[in-house]
Amino acid sequence: MRLHIVTVGKPKLAYAQLGWDDYLGRLQRLHTIRVTQLADKYADDTSKILEAVSGTYIVALEITGTMLDSHELTNFLTARELDAKEVSFIIGGPDGIPQTVRERAMYLWSLSRLTLPHDLAMVVTLEALFRASTIKAGLPYHR
């Protein structure tokens, strides 16, 4: 499966960079991963964000989106795999994703109703995708 992780900014805190690198490496063993990290100055640039995800199935991380448990996320990824289309996960800047981008998204996914620090949201996204992928692959990571 082809996954595209689009972030506004990069993890800045040491713990987040370590977590990002770790889970990205793990995820790359299970999927073809493409990462686009837009500069912070593009946080509100709808055209730049949409250009990055053009031609893909767009999932926007949004606090008001649908919360999924790990098995539901596994089912979501399995359904997207059948679409045979790259899936882009957009992690907006600290102020979220511009309204026009949210409207263009095919799916709004919420990690939690809690407001997470931007760096932590990046790590949690990769971990959740990795966990769902190990469930699908029948690997023992998920218990």
pLDDT at 141: 87
pLDDT, mean of residues 12-40: 97
HEC letters along 15-59: HHHHHHHHHHHHHHCCCEEEEEEECHHHCCCHHHHHHHCCCCEEE
Domain annotation covers residue 50 = yes
Domain annotation covers residue 143 = no
Least confident stretch, 21-25, 34-38, 92-96, 125-129: 92-96
CATH number reported for the structural domain that contains residue 126 in this entry: 3.40.1280.10
pLDDT, mean of residues 26-48: 97
Give the C-alpha distances (Å, rounded to integers) separating 136 from 12, 17, 79, 129.
Answer: 31, 26, 12, 11
Domain annotation covers residue 68 = yes
Domain annotation covers residue 84 = yes
Instruction: With cut-offs at 50, 70 and 90, classify the pLDDT of residue 143.
Output: low
Interatomic CA distance for residues 107 and 28, integer angstroms:
23
Number of domains in the chain: 1
Domain annotation covers residue 142 = no
pLDDT tens per residue across span 46-94? 999 999 999 999 999 999 999 999 999 999 999 999 999 999 999 999 8
pLDDT tens per residue across span 83-118? 999 999 999 998 899 999 999 999 999 999 998 999
Expressed as residue numbers, the domain containing 30 is 2-137
Helix (H) or strand (E) holding 124, with range, is: helix 118-137
Domain annotation covers residue 88 = yes
Please check the confidence at residue 27 and state whether its pLDDT lies above 80. Answer: yes
Interatomic CA distance for residues 131 and 126, integer angstroms:
9
pLDDT, mean of residues 123-143: 93
